[in-house]
A = this chain, B = another copy of it.
Amino acid sequence: MESSNLNLLKDLANEVYFAVHPLLGVKKASEIVGSGFCGDKTSLIDVIAEKAVIRYLRQNEITCVFFGEENGIKKIGKKPDFYIIVDAVDGTTNSLRGIKFVSASLAISKTKCFDSLESSVVINLYDGSIYEAERGKGAYYRNKRIHTSNIQELQESIISIDISGVPERVESVIPIMKKSKYIRSLGSAALEICHVASGKIEAYVDIRNKLRTVDIAAGMLILKEAGGTVLQLDGKEFIDNLLVSKKRFSIITAANNYIYNQVISSIPLP
């Protein structure tokens, strides 16, 4: 059952890839066509990507509750088998500008809660490479098992921080920027969390309270299965939260508890 869900997610990811890849960096894709379920502006590329997912689910008679950035909640079929949580373009700004760091994020959960996440896939929309995980079965990138970095010191670490659009919080990340060896800011939360999962970076930090469940659900399962740590800014797990929700989050994702503790202790209390 799990494997067929994972295969479904990979099929959906490839649908998005083929729909969206030709539009990356193309001007007309940036046309604003409305606003999404969570209130963010919707670009044409977002609509096309999410449509590709919903069309595939309908055509293949997959009975589920779909939850996406643009369309919100959609019940597909009569007796839904599971929830499917989708951000069909994660890193829309990058995709519109032609910055080659964009992903689609897809997760399946048995219930509407974070603690029931079963399978997830994050696909790099530039090259089609896939990060994937099933609960209890490890995480994989391009079909190879992945693990988080074993670096334990910030001074040796690459830390990615998203601080765009919240000038009042910039000061809060200065200590992390000063203590870390390398700072990155890449522009796609789902893909950055997968970079932590695969040992490419040691942490991804977003304290803006802007992330939605669709941005982080898939990456979180992949990161946990790769051995990483993911917590909210107050140190709480995500398990009690609803996946199908407009709630916004801050997130600290780290390769291990050593890095997590150094990151969290560097952030001044609000």
Task: Give Cα A143–Cα B182 distance, bound, in whole angstroms.
Answer: 33
Task: Give Cα A164–Cα B25 distance, bound, in whole angstroms.
Answer: 28
Q: Which residues on the B side are within 8 Å of A165 (C-beta)?
A: 181-182
- Give the contact stretch, choosing among A30-38, A39-47, A172-180, A209-217: A172-180
Q: Which residues on the B side are within 8 Å of A167 (C-beta)?
A: 177-179
Task: Give Cα A181–Cα B41 distance, bound, in whole angstroms.
Answer: 15
A interface SS class: loop
Contact B200 A99 (CB under 8 A): yes
Task: Give Cα A164–Cα B158 distance, bound, in whole angstroms.
Answer: 9
Contact residue range for chain A? 35 or more
Task: Give Cα A174–Cα B184 distance, bound, in whole angstroms.
Answer: 15
A93-B182, A97-B200, A185-B186 known; 14 other A-B pairs, CB under 8 Å? Answer: A93-B158, A98-B198, A99-B158, A99-B201, A100-B126, A101-B186, A163-B177, A164-B180, A164-B182, A167-B177, A167-B178, A174-B174, A183-B185, A184-B187
